[in-house]
Structure 1
Amino acid sequence: MSDGTGRQHGRYAYSPLPRRPAYDWPGGKRLAVYVALNVECFDFGTGLGAELAPGGPQPDVLNYAWRDWGNRVGVFRLADLFDALALPASVLVNSRIYAACPGLMDVFRARGDEVVGHGRTNAERQGTLPEEEERALIAEATAVLTRHAGQPPAGWLGPWISQSRATPDLLAEAGYRYLLDWCHDDQPTWFSTRGGGRILSVPYPQELNDIPSIVGRKDSGSQFAEMIVDTFDEMREAAASAPLVMGIALHPYLVGQPHRLRPLRQALRHIAQHRDAVWITRAGDIADHAIGLPEGMVPG
């Protein structure tokens, strides 16, 4: 018989935020803030990719070159911005970046930033693959990132936030501790996986994400920056009653552009000026803290 809820995913139970136990982030803080920098590569003449404008038949030079500018110029401007404001970053990396853009990741390794798995390339989706092919994709990307970063990544975001019904299971079986694809909550959440396992979901932003904002809704750089400031100020107040996570998702070919970089700098400076009151950190550190909490503190 149906329980009246319709088809469900079975990964986590409903848990209203006001009824959950409260806990603190390190230092007694209640708002955790992290920057997710997506460092991605694309195929020339085929495959998926965000569009600045309709590019016409392949090879789509207009949009390919626009995205490639992000890996040649924009990404380094963002690294300089993070340095200037002393901001850590979680770098979501397509594994083929290491071959396509030799040396690009050196700047983030020198900064001590976290490397998060982000598939092989953003020219493809993993969620459309048969399970064994998806397993192979995860294994291939993980091996490359481990070899270059010196340790396996703890977290994963699928290219295009693409998941199959088995993705959380495959990630847990591959040794991942957390995933970022779901934006269903403002706190970390435990996901059940097959065989009695589990994997943590760390909130990843869809609203404070420059692709839905700038590419999807056609927001300006100033509008996107204003969204960041308003979200931060609102969540800083709301966090008085519950610990919250605020992520900011950035792509170099978008916010690395000078006219968007300037308002972004002002927004991130606003956050940095409140570093004594909030925990400015990395997604992996948020996951580690949540995983270490007493059982029952994190919903699932």
Structure 2
Amino acid sequence: MTHLNRRRALALMGGTLAASGLAAPALAANRKIKVGALRFTSHSANFIALERGYFADAGLDVEFEFFQAAQPMAVAIASGDVDYAVTAISGGLISLADKGAIKVIGGALKEEAGIDGQKYLISDASYQAGTQTLKDLDGKKYAVTQAGSSFHYMGSKMAQAEGIDLRFIPLQKVGAIIGAMKSGQVDGWSIVPHIAKPLASAGAWHMVADVSDYLPDYQVTTVFTSASNAADERGMTESFLQAFGQGVDDYAAAMIDGTADQDEMIDLIHKYVYTDRERAKAAPSIINGTMRLSQGAALNLASVQDQLSWFQSEGLVGADITLDTLVDPSYVETTGA
């Protein structure tokens, strides 16, 4: 296995079960682990697993480390600073997998028919100037965090379907993109609904299409860990996934299926998401962020393969990297293989 410090991991990136289906894991004996997260509603399964004691029941003493973008989390996993994380597939993550540093072990956020999902947006300044459909974005500026990010993938796949060219503008952080959209410095973007909806209502931008229109069944984020954890810490990894899956089930019951108390769930999520707002103002955005999380961390391999193939077609990762290089499918149920 390849063990990397954070500086080496950055260099290698080139700058760029079902809960019921898993066997009961071997308890991890109160192992201290760090879990990488973003302060998004889509990361709620981890927050629930901590708050409701599922991690503790699985023998894990969890501490969160929060990030602002996907690629730094991949670096932290590769360097051993973080043990498990949930994030989108990026060029950096794939490159680290190619170096034997990380493995995708499950699925998290996904697009699903009938459940609200990510939106394609046009800035208000561009919209008022006549850019009112995705096809109108031809030749315009499209915001991404980094080249090789999930934003880049979503924009490129949409542009390919629409037969247009986009000028991709890397702005590093979601907050910077929001500011650029508000000020009209960029024309288009795509983002999860809990960010898209309130700012659309406030007039900052216009929601013009759903990502699922172009990427049905898109496996938006995955659960991943170091290659050494995947290979050598099976009990601990199964314990993590078991607790994570319990968090997914609780989230779905309260926020999607209506079989559990939604207000109680909002209170829990609010401890981690929109913490700078009072609960009454945070609640609508938390509700707007409701998307499907994969039950039991099931992983859509067809979607992961499509993403890998796109990164390769863009020359962002090596052409000889295979799905087996990126994914360890032994931990969870997989679909679309």
Normalised by the length of structure 1, the TM-score is 0.29
Greater per-residue strand proportion: 2
